[in-house]
Amino acid sequence: MSDAASMKAIIEGIESFDAFTLISHVSPDGDTLGSALAMYLLLTGMGKKAEVVCEEPVPQIYRFLPCSDKVVLPADAAGYDCVITCDCADAQRFKKAERLFRAAKTTMLIDHHFTNRGYADVNLVVPDASAACEIIYDLYKLMDKPITKDIAVCLYTGIVTDTGNLTYSNTTPKCIRMVADMYENGLNITEINRYIYRTVPYSKTRLQGFVLSNMKLELDGKIGIATLSVAEMDRFGATNEDCEGVVDKVRDVDCVRVAVFIREGRDGTYKVSLRSKECADVAKIANRYGGGGHPAAAGYTSRDPLSTTIANVLHDIEEELSE
């Protein structure tokens, strides 16, 4: 099905159902929350019932988003007949919300990850889009629905966070024009950027300083790798949310071409985050281990010991860089 046909099917679904469950992915970021909340505002503005469901509470950094207090955990969800997933590359990213997806009469997805193979009844996947929020911006325009201030905040947050404040390679003239349109219509980008990029908890500052001071360079400096254990997190009183952005700091080192951040989970697994300066397809590496993402930003969960996890990812990156 073409993008146009999928968009039409999404609109038909929105018009035909009266109640919707919107699912965001685990470890929620600006795009999954921004896109889900923008959809929530669209649907409730049409007089329909809607709920936003996420495996984890909204991170502090994104609680400025309009209606963020409406996000519920899977156990508290009503579970409506139509489910729409937002920015979810695969069903594994729902975690406990998967039961809501499986129980729905109709499922739809809105996503921009090229690794998304289409797991819903209606699949709107636009890999060229900078963010899922960009697709939803187009949806608003096609449905001739007004983009209010609150909606613009949600859409801008998704676009700006997924493009690294409009600096990553997925930044396009189209998404910049979208931002300009919202800015011309009253969006306060200065305020939003302060919330996202200029308000940092003390625990996060201390934790990131510790992690970065212990990072290592491999393969003549081409690979930067940092690790963090649960014990080290507890030492700083830090949370998973405080780890956001660490891998980007590793990538920023001048000689580093591919950055790796490996964080221990309390279940004994390791979350591996990968970033590339457009010289290696890290999504290809993540796919080998059941993960996904984009060519320059991807991740996966490893169930191997830390030493094995490190050895495997270094081998895979070296192999990718040599191609």
What is the 3-state secondary structure of the chain? CCHHHHHHHHHHHHHHCCEEEEECCCCCCHHHHHHHHHHHHHHHHCCCEEEEECCCCCCHHHCCCCCHHHEECHHHCCCCCEEEEECCCCHHHHHHHHHHHHHCCEEEEEECCCCCCCCCCEEEECCCCCCHHHHHHHHHHHCCCCCCHHHHHHHHHHHHHHCCCCCCCCCCHHHHHHHHHHHHCCCCHHHHHHHHHCCCCHHHHHHHHHHHHCCEEECCCCEEEEEECHHHHHHCCCCHHHHCCHHHHHHCCCCCCEEEEEEECCCCCEEEEEEECCCCCHHHHHHHCCCEEECCEEEEEECCCHHHHHHHHHHHHHHHHHC
The pTM score is 0.92
What is the predicted pLDDT for the residue at 323? Answer: 78
165: left (phi over 0), alpha (psi -120 to 50) or beta: left
Q: Are 70 and 57 in contact (CB under 8 A)?
A: no
Q: Where in the chain is the domain with CATH 3.10.310.30?
A: 203-322
pLDDT of residue 157: 98
One-letter amino acid of 202: Y
Fold of 203-322: Diaminopimelate Epimerase; Chain A, domain 1 (3.10.310)
Looking at domain 3-197, which of 2.40.50.140, 3.30.310.50, 3.10.180.10, 3.90.1640.10 is its CATH number?
3.90.1640.10
For residue 2, the model assigns a pLDDT of 78
* pLDDT string in tens for the chain (323-residue length): 678 999 999 999 999 999 999 999 999 999 999 999 999 999 999 999 999 999 999 999 999 999 999 999 999 999 999 999 999 999 989 999 999 999 999 999 999 999 899 999 999 999 999 999 999 999 999 999 999 999 999 999 999 999 999 999 899 999 999 999 999 999 999 999 999 999 999 999 999 999 999 999 999 999 999 999 999 999 999 998 899 999 999 999 999 999 999 999 999 999 999 999 978 999 999 999 999 888 999 999 999 999 999 999 999 999 999 97
Q: Tell me, what's the pLDDT at 278?
A: 79
Domain with CATH 3.90.1640.10 in the chain: 3-197
The pLDDT score that the predictor gives to residue 103 is 97
